[in-house]
A and B are shown apart, each in its own frame.
Chain A
Amino acid sequence: MRTVRRHNAHLLGIEGMDASDITPFLDLAESYALLSRSRTAPRDVLQGRTVINLFFENSTRTRTSFELAGKRLGADVVNMSVATSSVSKGETLLDTASTLNAMHCDLLVVRHDQSGAPALLSQKVEASVVNAGDGMHEHPTQALLDALTIRRHFGRLDGLTIAICGDVAHSRVVRSNIHLLRAMGSNIRLAGPPTLLPSALGELDGVTLYHDMDEALTGVDVAMCLRVQRERMGGGLVPSAREYFALFGLDRRRLGLAQPNALVMHPGPMNRGIEIASDVADSPQSVISEQVEMGVAVRMAVLDRLSRMQTPS
């Protein structure tokens, strides 16, 4: 177990974790999901602990999810939004680290537009660092919440076939999901135009690349769409939104190629009519809202477990 260490435990990514590392997070999160629904979450688990949400990149959904998770466990949660400056990010980051150390923060949730920034910070701060998304690298809590959502429906992850469709090249979500789903024994299909689908990913065991959406979706248990940033569809990497939807959009017909009980997932925020048709997003097969709910539960489990792994000071 590389990313979660006994001393000064962090969750920087899924890479390097195996099923025995992942399952305890999912099990604990599942129990928190039930407690959250019954509104009886124990408010004293993180009592007296300080959680700082340090966001160098705009985010409402993830930040709110971490904030709720911390508060449901009784922690003091503080949000810090730091505008990313174009100058010397390394220096700024280290200055921030010493500031946080002086504040005696226990758990630090970090989002940054540069891959590896949370890892750099974790070397300098005394708090446990949770990566809430770094550049195009990893977004481990998203992968955990996706896995939990799938597991709740199928009772397992191994042997399932999961199609992940869209802007794979620029997605940290997909990288974390690939690590996690491979570790849990799922079959992964990645689909998108070649400009958004790095061919190197096809070399991984258990991962198959598709440029034809119909083929990619045939017989899958889960169809997960990724957000395609509008700026990528201006003719640089994809000719237009309408061509993207025509060739890669998840619509009713294409969903019909998947298993009858297949789940529709999306990490949000959605571009309706681009990567996913509105009626599919709102269909009974869609678990997109449930993903958000599981997000809070997973983050409760992550904050809880990391704080328990900390060496008492």
Chain B
Amino acid sequence: MTSLVFENVRLIDPASGRDSLGRLVVENGVIVGHDSHEAPKGARVIDGKGAVLCPGLVDMRVTLGEPGSEYRETIQSGAEAAVAGGITSLAVLPDTDPSIDTPSLVHHIRRRGEETGMVALHPYGALTRGCEGKEMAEFGLLKQAGAIAFTDGARALGNAKQMRNILAYSRFLDALIVLHPEEPSLARGGCATGSALAVRLGLPQIPAAAEAMMVTRDLRLAEMTGARVHFAHVSTGEALELIRQAKARNVRVTCDTAPPYFAMTEEDIGDFRTYAKFSPPLRQEQDRQAVFDALADGTIDVVASDHMPADADDKRLPFAHARAGGTGMTTLLGVTLSSGLPIMDALRLLTSAPARLLGLEAGTLAVGRDADLCLFDPNETWTVTAGSMPGCAQNTPFDGRELKGHVLRTFRRGQEVYTTPSLAQGKTA
């Protein structure tokens, strides 16, 4: 089976806090030792030449086109985009067609992930049946089937009483409820953050307060019910301050953000650039700064790609009609490393933190764990080029950007599932 020895690598393992040069030994797809551990016979030796070897990234917020929108992206092409970004575990959103709201669909998604041989897919279960925001989904049966958490994707529940019942019900299953924090009646029809720019462009607006309002409501409901709540892709300083305060009084709340919210602002919309249309919308500079500060001070627990595939026809539309969202898996590591966060913090937000939050046995270099690994050069830069990105969907918002952190090789259970093209030519068997 797969035995590997990584020589001369900078091991960064946020779970243990290690950042030092060393060796890592893999046998039968499992990490068996570090440094002086004896290499198994016939093991393939990979000389890292000082590159970083870290756990395969865990991306806790990914939309794939399959099932239902395979023309945008299949699970196979999504997996290709993921491993090119060093990602080996993906938490996939359930608001597909059909929605992941029955136990058999949960099994299906997990199995489809295994079939790629490249990544582990961890399906979210629907929060409401069909992700329609009406009837509570079968949390108990979905959880038994392997759903890691529950969400309606980018749909928010407007009805406070219903949310209360859902949170109360989720508590005894200790289910994690992942929410899109946006007051739906304020957000409906909007496509840009409330600002002078949106007024000038004549775009319908979603005020930043729509996020803070929903966070306020759901924090209160989480406190009332004792449920575990996670706010996804938080984008405003006001909401982050509410979460910071709630954490200080021990509410069971966590949150994530996505690269567009700390690496872009509404200015990127420019001349109605639909590749800069997101849900929630890109915010103003002070919010972007607040998101970065919250990453630095630990208020934000996880960085997730919020990958959302779209094809050209989804985006070649008037701004308000275009599909929101951008691809993000391949650029996740690069944008996060380029943000100015210390490398250990950046990698923690991308590996051990999401794994722990979701209860996954991933995101660590500990002995005994699957050898899901990412080898990257932190000093080499690369340029994002829409149209020639791995996978199918090409709607990256970072087209033309130069990013730090070039993924050289990615391994899933010791199998090399991605090799950067320049190395692939000289690849040893």
Contact = CB atoms under 8 A, between A and B. Distances in A.
A234 B162 CA distance: 12
Contacts of A289: none
A273 to B, nearest CB: 15
Interface in A137-166: none
Contact of B172 (A211, A242, A246): A211
Given A242-B141, A243-B140, A243-B141, A236 B168 contact: no
B284 interface: no
Interface string A181-197: 00000000000011100
Contact of A238 (B128, B162, B169, B225): B169
Contacts of B140: 239, 243, 246-247
B129 to A, nearest CB: 6
A246 B138 CA distance: 11
A179 B162 CA distance: 31
Contacts, number: 48
B138 A195 contact: no
Contacts of A211: 172
Interface in B108-144: 128-129, 134-141, 144
Given A194-B225, A195-B165, A246-B141, A236 B172 contact: no
B135 A194 contact: no
B22 to A, nearest CB: 45
Interface string A233-276: 01111111011001100000000000000000000000000000
B135 A235 contact: yes
Nearest to B141: A243
Interface string A209-227: 0011000000000000000
A247 B140 CA distance: 7
A132 B144 CA distance: 42
Contacts of B34: none
A239 B172 contact: no
B138 A236 contact: no
A128 B171 CA distance: 45
Interface in B279-317: none
A52 B281 CA distance: 66
A53 to B, nearest CB: 36
A234 B129 CA distance: 10
Given A236-B162, A246-B141, A194 B136 contact: no
B138 A243 contact: yes
B129 A193 contact: no
A193 B141 contact: no
Contact of A194 (B141, B144, B168): B168
Interface string B136-163: 1111110010000000000000000010
A242 B168 contact: no
Contact of B134 (A195, A235, A238, A246): A235
A193 B137 CA distance: 14
Given A194-B172, A243-B141, A236 B225 contact: no
Nearest to B225: A194
Interface in A91-133: none
B128 A235 contact: yes
Contacts of B129: 235, 239
Contact of B139 (A212, A236, A239): A239
A71 to B, nearest CB: 45
A164 B171 CA distance: 20
Nearest to A244: B140
A64 to B, nearest CB: 35
Contacts of B137: 235, 239
Nearest to A234: B135
A174 B172 CA distance: 21
Contacts of A246: 140-141, 144
Contacts of A237: 136, 165, 169
A193 B165 CA distance: 10
Nearest to A248: B140
A125 to B, nearest CB: 37
B172 A240 contact: no
Contacts of B134: 235
B138 A239 contact: yes
A246 to B, nearest CB: 6
Given A242-B141, A246-B141, A193 B136 contact: no
A242 B138 contact: yes
Contacts of B139: 239, 243
Nearest to B164: A195
B169 A195 contact: yes
B138 A240 contact: yes
B36 to A, nearest CB: 47
A215 to B, nearest CB: 11
Nearest to A210: B172
A93 B165 CA distance: 34
B155 to A, nearest CB: 15
A193 B172 contact: yes
A246 B169 CA distance: 15
B162 to A, nearest CB: 7
A86 to B, nearest CB: 22
A239 B168 contact: no
A193 B139 CA distance: 12
Contacts of A242: 138, 141
Closest 5 CB pairs of A and B: A235-B135, A211-B172, A239-B138, A235-B136, A194-B168
11 contacts: A195-B165, A195-B169, A212-B172, A235-B135, A235-B136, A237-B165, A238-B136, A239-B136, A239-B169, A242-B141, A246-B144
Given A194-B225, A237-B165, A242-B141, 8 more contacts: A194-B169, A195-B168, A236-B135, A239-B129, A239-B135, A239-B138, A239-B139, A240-B138
Interface of A: 193-195, 211-212, 234-240, 242-243, 246-247
Interface of B: 128-129, 134-141, 144, 162, 165, 168-169, 171-172, 225
